[in-house]
Amino acid sequence: MAEPGSPTKEDERPKFNLVQEIASSINDSNQVPERYIHKNGYQQASDSSAPWMDQLLIDLSLLSSSSSPAAAAELQKLRSALTSWGCFQVINHGMTRSFLNDVLQVCKEFFALPLADKQKCSGAADLFSGYGNDAVIAGNQILNWNDRLYLTLYPEDQSKLKYWPQKPKKFREIVREYGMKIKALPELLLKAMARSLDLEENCFLKQHKEQGLTARVNLYPRCGSPDRVLGVKPHSDGSTITILLQDNQVEGLQVLKDDQWFKVPFIPNALFVNAGDLTEVMSNGIFKSTVHRVVTNSSSERVSLAVFYSSNSDNEIGPANELVTADRPCSYKKVTMKNYGKLFIECYPRGQRTLNALKF
């Protein structure tokens, strides 16, 4: 989901209960509130044995190495993954499996706390900060079976400590450390993405004057009606790049390719990376901003940690000049993150893609 935007005032927004509270108060599927039910179900993967997406493993240590044949081959794999799927899984990113497990563990422990503890981080007054549930609400949209905690990782002076849980005790330390370790990754990837298109390596990066990282810790509680309730509806992210640490036990993420849904496998040691809308804009449509969704599960809850990389709000992002040619005319309008956020708030509740509002 997107993280930028101009917050609407708290009292102008309808209130819904936290999904975790609803889930723990019901025990059979008929009681899932109407607002969460996709009346005719939702578009399932083609059959019960839904296909898995390709593994699309990208070795970061090769991407960052200089011009060896192996590095060139890895750049080619990156380009191919981003043009056909808009996503891939990064390995050799330098974080150990045990550290990634610690990060997930502390996120799970946060959601396991009593409600009153979690509500100390409540982000009621701000759409993209703190603890809460589906906040971008309009009309009769069907709601997501998902609670989340939004935290600003960078710039650090905007991290608003009041939203950072004091319990579990290690939460702040571990999530900060994760933020520090992940900080270099989007920049490295953006450079590699430019090189993979034979562009100067700062071509995409330089459009991000001041860079921002926002974390979204997601909880998808168990759901008695998984065939009619989605954890997150189909969307593409309002970021340049999103890096997702997935639950190490429960799968649920799916990506759309050629009108077909594919399951995203959990790969130990890998981080799932998807291009967001701003990458599609900058690459003038060469790289795809992946449409994805999260399905629910009747037996297990699921946790994930998404980190969105984007730019500051006044910064304008547009198709790179080098990628606008006679054969490939400019397909997207330039947009500031602030205006992107406004468009997102209009489009998302209606099930529309923000990206379409940017197309010529």
Q: Which residue is nearest to Ni ion (CB)?
A: 237
- 3-state secondary structure string, 27-43? CCHHHCCHHHCCECECC
Residue 223 phi, psi dihedral angles, 5° rounding: -135, 130
Closer to ligand OGA at the Cβ: 103 or 253?
A: 253
| φ, ψ for residue 132, nearest 5 deg | 170, -165
At closest approach, how far in Å is the CB of 239 from ligand OGA?
A: 8
121 vs 215 by CB, closer to ligand OGA: 215
Which does residue 216 touch among ligand OGA, Ni ion, none (CB within 5 to 8 A, set by kind)? ligand OGA
Given ligand OGA, Ni ion, none, residue 304, with its beta carbon under 5 to 8 Å by kind, binds ligand OGA
| 280 touches Ni ion (CB under 5 A) | no
Question: Among residues 237, 277, 280, 301, which is the contact residue for Ni ion, using CB under 5 A?
Answer: 237
253 binds, among Ni ion, ligand OGA, none (CB under 5 to 8 A by kind): ligand OGA
Place of tokens 């309002």: 238
- Report how many residues bind Ni ion under the rule CB under 5 A: 1
Q: Which residues contact 259 (CB under 8 A, 6 or more apart)?
A: none
Instruction: Phi first, then psi: give them for residue 152, nearest 5 degrees.
Output: -85, 120
Binding residues for Ni ion restricted to 168-227, rule: CB under 5 A: none
What residues from 63 to 92 belong to the interface with Ni ion (CB under 5 A)?
none
Instruction: Identify each DSSP E strand in 286-341 by its residue range.
Output: 292-295, 302-311, 316-317, 335-336
CA distance 144 to 194: 35
DSSP 215: E
Summarize as ranges the residues that interact with ligand OGA (CB under 6 A).
1, 216, 218, 232, 237, 244, 246, 253, 292, 294, 304, 306
Q: In one letter, which amino acid is 134?
A: D
Question: At its nearest, how many Å lie between ligand OGA and the CB of residue 274?
Answer: 8
Q: Output DSSP code: residue 266.
A: P
C-beta of 231: minimal distance to ligand OGA in Å? Answer: 7
The footprint of Ni ion (CB under 5 A) covers 237
